Amino acid sequence: MLAFLLTTIVFFVWGMSNNLTDILVQQFKKSFELSLLQAQLVQTANFFAYFVMATPAALLSRRFGYKVALVVGLVTFGVGTLLFWPAAVIGQYTPFLIAIFIVGTGASILETSANPLIAQFGDPETSEQRLNFAQAFNPPGTIVGVIVGTLFIFSGVEKSPVQVAAMKAQGTYAAYLHSEILRVVPTYVAIGAVVLVLALLLSRAEFPQSLDSNELAGYPSQVSQPHKGAYGRLFRNGRLMFAVVAQFFYVGAQVGVWSTLIPYLKAYTTVGDRPAGYFLTATLVAFAAGRVISTPLMRYVSPAKMVGVYALINVLLLVGVVAHPGMSGAIAILVVSLFMSVMYPTIFALGVKGLGDDTKLAGSLLVMAILGGAIFPPAMGWISRLSGSVALGYLLPAAAFMVVALFSFLVPRLTDLTVSRHSVEIAPQSL
């Protein structure tokens, strides 16, 4: 239980980080005078790290156990946040992207370890419910992160074109922009300190050996026995591969929807940075509410069918976002967040279900699919620049939710002879 509770805190931590990047997109767009496409490289740096580090993280977890992987992930994460200080002093965009990549590396290690740990922590039949419960600690982290970013990173000072021209003429505009850059430092240094303290607590805690073995089911541990051909089995697993594809499109849609929200509000409404930040917070509250409401319903409704219906609803809502840009479209984005709530953990749990000791490596493939979050935001920025419409970029996540719906409705029918044979081989040790 202690391991379970400490791991849920980790879900909170990376939730804070992932949605603070939505604040950074707008702050760096302003501070470095970037286009939306250039500013969205913040998301690329963060989520590309997931793709790069997911497999090494899984191998680390498999070799040394969940505890070591979680501690390494937290330390890496903490170091990355502390690097925001020298990056701000330098005053260049690239050092920030490097720091964000290191933060993403730490978060990748954490997510690669924490998700399969929770999925295996009990009866496989309830893995979706259990993972959704643990992931319920993620939205409060995202909400806190965005509120902190809105209050402490956004200054609330927005210069008009006339004021900017006057400051440039006086030679004070560069100093103003640098002061805006420095606003990110206190928030990230504080997060780094908290994360390193959590790493210390985890390093002192005792995790049961059963979490890295099959002993929870009452069978001997085989954590040190390599399972040859694991990747071959996994790549032949139709259900897992489809889950990886669905996760790629889902994460791309989620990150794209949220990271483009503030630019959308700035383009089609009169709200400033801070009110837009509060609206983003409201979408995260809706996301959390959707998870609280939907998780208990999974006892009566198939999780896969629920995700499929939610995905189709989101397609319709996003069509409205494109067709009616403005506050009505922003409200539709808020409702989209409610229906996104259970998609990531449910796709993850469906993908790794019944994989036994291959679960960690399977989890790493699903975490690699977070690469979608690195691709969709700049792609939406590119569509915006090409078309002159921020709203039109939302057609991309609409298409992504169609893929999620297809996976959700087809996954119960997916069978794989290789998987069936593998299940027979490892069934006695399965959790």
What is the rounded CA–CA span in Å between residue 113 and residue 117? 6
Instruction: Quote the pLDDT of residue 59.
Output: 83
- The answer to whether 84 and 31 are in contact (CB under 8 A) is no
The pLDDT-based confidence of 91 (bands split at 50, 70, 90) is very high
Q: Provide the token pair at 178.
A: 């640098």
Q: What is the pLDDT of residues 180-224, one digit of tens each?
A: 999 999 999 999 999 999 999 888 877 766 555 543 333 233 333
Task: Please count the other Cβ atoms lying within 10 Å of the Cβ belonging to residue 223.
Answer: 18
Q: What is the pLDDT of residues 63-84, one digit of tens each?
A: 888 889 999 999 999 999 999 9
- Written as one letter, the residue type at 166 is A
Distances (CA, A) of 262 to 26, 259, 281, 282: 7, 7, 11, 12
Q: What is the pLDDT of residues 381-412, one digit of tens each?
A: 999 999 999 999 999 999 999 999 999 999 87
Query: Mapping DSSP to helix (H, G, I), strand (E, B) and coil, where does residue 156 land?
Result: coil
| Planar angle of CA 19, 21, 24, nearest 5 degrees | 130
pLDDT exceeds cutoff 90 at 51: no
Q: How many alpha carbons lie under 13 Å from residue 328 in its C-beta half-sphere?
A: 6
Using CB atoms within 10 A of its CB, is residue 385 exposed (0-12), middle (13-18) or buried (19+)? Answer: middle
Q: What is the pLDDT of residues 1-35, one digit of tens each?
A: 777 787 788 888 888 888 899 999 999 999 999 99
Q: Which domains does the chain have, with CATH numbers?
A: 2-207+230-429 (1.20.1250.20)
Which residue has tokens 């400051």? 167
Enumerate the H helices of 260-352 as residue ranges: 261-268, 273-297, 303-323, 327-340, 343-352
